[in-house]
Amino acid sequence: MKTKLFFITVFAILGLSVHAQDANFSQNFSNPLSLNPAYAGSLGCSRFVADYSNTFSSIPGNDIIYCASYDQYVDRLHGGLGLIFTSVNEGSGTIIKNDINGTYSFNININDNFRIRPAINIGYGHNKLDWNDLFFGNGTTTNTTIPNNKLNVNYFNAGAGVLFAYKNFISGIALDHINQPNIGFLSYSELFAKLTIHSSLEIKITDNTNLTPGIIFQQQHDYGYSFLPSLMLNYRYIKFGVAFRLPNEANPDSFIGMLGFVNNRMSIGYSYDITISKLSSASSGVNEITAVFKFNCKNKEKYGVTHICGF
């Protein structure tokens, strides 16, 4: 059965100015390039990340996010290179958003304990609207014919970030969509700039146990803020985490629990994000699975930034 998305029909067909918001991940620190381009090459290893997120919604048709990234440190460039691909499937294929971004981060060793990593990223995006899957409120489909180029939007994207690492403390700032590209199907619609500020600290309790508190703040125009404190516990090969997204009208508060496996070469985590606020009943929960693989770690001691294994 074709997806029935009345709210998309209203905005897309009538040509109102609709401004888009970025996809949100629950396991942010496990998918570092989606958080800050300055994480490219930050482990001193080669790293591959795969992320799958499925949002269950009261509106027919789930929202699904696929994300894959690769980054490594390159000696000749004195920094890291990264590539990240994200695909967002809204309303079971009614709207599909694909983007790919390339990243370069430059490593500055102030001393043995303090590093600064400024970075830039440049990307390309393609959004597609499946006109045949749109339904009006009375249950009838649209038979309106419009040019094919009105159903597809292509755009360029630019961003920047910086990472500060002192011993086991990491903090960073990132700004995505600096150029604020037009992504509207039938009218002008900006992809607004997004500000991200994040910090995390790894606390070694025993030889086999680490505790990592973290916090992420994100703001994207009038969609409100996202404020996410988290706590991750690693014991031997098991990691367990909890996080809480604080409430506002655009991003209702939710509780996140995560359980996973981690060793020196890989990390796999499953998280469940459940909305607990009365501000929104559209989402009944988010399932997310993230897998991280690390290899070729010859530069880890010299350039690596630690505790990229949790939220």
Residue 213 counted as domain residue: no
**Residue 170: what pLDDT?**
93
The tally of domains found in the chain comes to 1
Residue 174 counted as domain residue: yes
- The pTM assigned to this predicted structure is 0.84
**Residue 150: what pLDDT?**
55
Residue 82 counted as domain residue: yes
Residue 15 counted as domain residue: yes
Residue 166 counted as domain residue: yes
Residue 107 counted as domain residue: yes
Residue 263 counted as domain residue: no
Residue 127 counted as domain residue: yes
- Three-state DSSP string of the chain: CCCCCHHHHHHHHHCCCCCECCCCCCCCCCCHHHHCHHHCCCCCCEEEEEEEEEEEECCCCCEEEEEEEEEEEEHHHCEEEEEEEEEEEECCCCEEEEEEEEEEEECEECCCCEEEEEEEEEEEEEEEECHHHCECCCCCECCCCCCHHHCEEEEEEEEEEEEEEECCEEEEEEEECCCCCECCCCCCCEECCEEEEEEEECEEEECCEEEEEEEEEEECHHHCEEEEEEEEEEECCEEEEEEEECCCCCCCCEEEEEEEEECCCEEEEEEEEEECCCCCCCEEEEEEEEEEEEECCCCHHHHCCCCCCCC
Q: Which domain holds residue 64?
A: 6-204+287-303
Average pLDDT per run of 10 along the chain, which is 311 residues long?
A: 44 44 79 93 90 74 86 90 93 83 94 92 90 55 52 92 93 95 83 92 92 91 80 93 76 84 91 75 77 83 60 54
Among residues 296, 295, 272, 302, the alpha carbon closest in space to that of 284 is found at: 272
Cβ(265)–Cβ(5) below 8 Å? no
**Residue 275: what pLDDT?**
79
